[in-house]
Structure 1
């Protein structure tokens, strides 16, 4: 993977080694949807402390469950730091050139009379716009009022700078450390964007988590800020128990919250109450009886170089018998030298004569065995194996598996050529069957550089947490080899390239092609916009789009060829990809962005429309690239000459033209002018919804039936079609 998004994660959630131990009260629900609900919080009667009730509600739109504190959605509860991540609405103000009027939508964030306060350390008040004065009107837990604000101005798009929020298009101010539990945004109407509406029509403001915001110039000139966060930004709040000090709370043992005997109480002061933490040497949930469990320090081999014995809350480290030194220091334990030359000589000669023949055979065997074991251990460490093991141990529901080399050899019959699913520049993929009879796809990569080695463990953690119905899921990896082996879920129907370009390829209805295109776009949009951290695929092509038993598209090979971190902004990188799909701007400049994936997807869209390959080596220069052929045909109004005859009929013309226009936008030579993948996915969704095909049902059995005999379908769209 060429960059670490800022998200295959973090990609993408903050990870905590102790979160896996944060459990609910016995007999109570531990989760609401994907959110852990640790005690003192609870969603059922008798499962929470006073003031820590949360509501678990089902979303009517997608039937998922979401967690709420009052009417504020809770995204995550951070038990060790006594914090919670919640959703906070973005307030906005827009100027209308036509009516010369101002429209706004002002929101407030209310946590009054609760245990929550807006964190002054981790949040900031952000205002975006080129003619904006926004105020942050706040009230603390003692009903004291505060007001801050900031001005952001600019007179041209050229004055804006990515990543800089210092008053030019973006400004930010800190939150007072006063226990704020309510705030409301207001805009000064004298600053209304009327003078800059030709390039900046709207202003935005919100209190949000500081680490979750990096200014982008498109936030000023477009509505990207609103849509990037879907109208709601994350905000971090502190929470505490009651309003008493630890000394006062401990007098009333029936209400004292630090229930674990291995916990400590920490005062927050000024009537803010207290929080509980596990004592040194323990970890877990201090609010539960027996919630703080002893840490076995001896499991970390770097803790002690001698004999380690774990004790409650600590450990003992001593040197083995016959050695001396400090087992806790770098020098470690050293063997005690005994001066007895005559004894050593006699014993040495006697033993040597007796076992010299045996040892000569065993030494080589032992040496080779240790050498192999050392190589495996070194590979495991350098690829972040210890980090992966810690995450697997600490996080509940973490299904990632670290495989042994012998397991994968057995699964593939020692990588028998009969089990090869595909080969490419990055490696070879085999079909394997694990001991539990589960089929998997096993990829043996060819090369990996030193930078990728250092970041491999972190990036695999991010990839393992990607969960989308149209993305092939990574199940595990093997780290005791020179180049890591990746294990993916097995997708049974092959890839899109073979489906549309094989000489035995069936007649594929236009509806099926559009569905595959939309599902692929949805997957890429998820990687670009919703994965945490975001991910650039870097090698989008039809052979990397797999089809399952229901012919649902599954994007594969993301991050497998290059596993390295990446920022949201453009950066210089070694150009990699597949000829015919590569973004021309990326090839010329080496600047890789999400728009490079958009270009590659545009080529895939052309393959679906024309059933032609992306690149032909045996043709003339102007006929080699499918994208060049397509753009030339569009310019000369000869699109029908390159389209696949199987999808051409009178009723489909309008729809195909819309799809072709979308492909042309994706193939724009200037990356900035290409649409975002989420916009492409939304457009394809609208096109599919407006497509009427009463005689054909879109199901996998229909495609299966087409494999044996040709069949023609009719499709139509209404005259009032609107994309």
Structure 2
């Protein structure tokens, strides 16, 4: 059934929102808040860039509307969602969230944020899912279908009442008359379902009513008891009709040509924010989502020029205490001791006592003692980090497995400091808010790349250790080699083989005139497919990469492909075909089936590889701007053109000039198969490898018959159900291709 939500009584909730929501931007007295000539506020709400009200005053997706016809003026985002406050520091926007209300204990509804959804999602860290009612079960799920294929929801809670004289004192944790639950999935909108709690009768909902909403945790904690009083007298209709909720926002790098605050150069992996004294960092570990913060000792707006200004610590003695003379300095302050007037006898006494202590310290060798203590403290700290980063467990794994011991080494911090000249700035190869990569030379003269994270977050540490475990058990010429790690720092350091020629993404989408030839692209695709097929079915453990993309394919001086970055990868038991896990990946490459079901399978990597094939054929980014849209998906656009037999409309002209159209058509049909919306209709990576082997061999044999066989295999192959692919007719043809090819594997 559907329910209608009455119009909000905004006067009372507006007063409450103004009083209880103080999550606003820090006052920027010394620096600009908005772009020059743009409004800086709407009523009592500060509007900092990238948000803005007037045309040309905001970044794409962050436009607001100020209704000055009301008093005080009210601020809106998207299609009429009222904004109660904005925070640059937390990356949040507080909005007015509707309360779903029904007189029945069984109904379906929906909750949605602003219509402009791509830079916004509900914050799981700031919000709760709350239900108020008697003997009900409330569920929060995906808007397109409350239940996924595995039966999971974003949040579920149950509330019970024993009789109509129930005592409703206590907290929402008790589940008496109301309940609350954390939100697992961070989405811009949700489906909501309320059903009766069958274990308890009778149903008191017709007496009390049912209320369901997403709400800011802090606000609900302070107003919970007042809402319960209104709930017990619901017939007076005193329950509020809206509550504050918190959205998180970010800047999306894909498809945005005006991201000047972040980009340094088209062929560089380094980024900075526009304000000089600011830093950038990745959101949720996603390389395409980024926020900025002012550096320590500075405050203001990091998204605009000169937005971060020096803090005068001397004007805030309560925050920055100084018992002497305070001297403000850029980014910090200095506190010098007050000068004292010393008499001659006092001066003689001080000199005598100082000389005596100096002689005593010299005799005792204080310098040596201090040095020894410093070394001991450093050693204890390194040992503490070593144990915290599961160093003892990794040592045991290496000592018990000779194969891993031959490939992996646990480096000391001293070795890596010597290899990088104590992490000299001139040794930096690249990186960003997520981490920095240094070039190092080990004692055995091996040149390596050392990955060092910037942010100390347990999730980052877990991803580092996950990459160590996976790479220590893989051995393939097209998978980047992990030489070892260092666990004696707060965040582990990873030591890889040095790959000197950048990423496939830079070669395809950079501004260099030396583009990859079709022959090189075809070989890179084959080598990448070999590596992924090895991870899926030939490694000692099956591994699903979960973030296959051009930026994670490194190229050597000879343009040999190396698959890298296994921080998000998951190992799978032999008897499993998939696992349920939190959604992680890169926009434009993410498998739609995985996104909607949270079920990760080997076919998720196949879909991402299909996007790479489309990039190799077209030299178009995964998300690009077109005449009809500013964020078109390459995958959907490519499949649409292939369905209409219009490959020539999108095929890179360089391939045509090199005479590779016939091969390209085979690869294009393979890419279309990989991009099927249903995972069961996609080929396995072993089957993909077989087809690419045939196409690649044909370029050396010049055998048109081989090409036609590959085309026929692509056209007639029933992918569905062929999980392994080793027993199919296509795989038999693949074995013939491999036997006739002189390409070393």
Q: TM-score range by the shorter chain?
A: 0.3 to 0.5
* TM-score, normalisation: structure 1: 0.44
* Greater RCO, CA 8 A, separation 6+: 1
* TM-score, normalisation: structure 2: 0.43
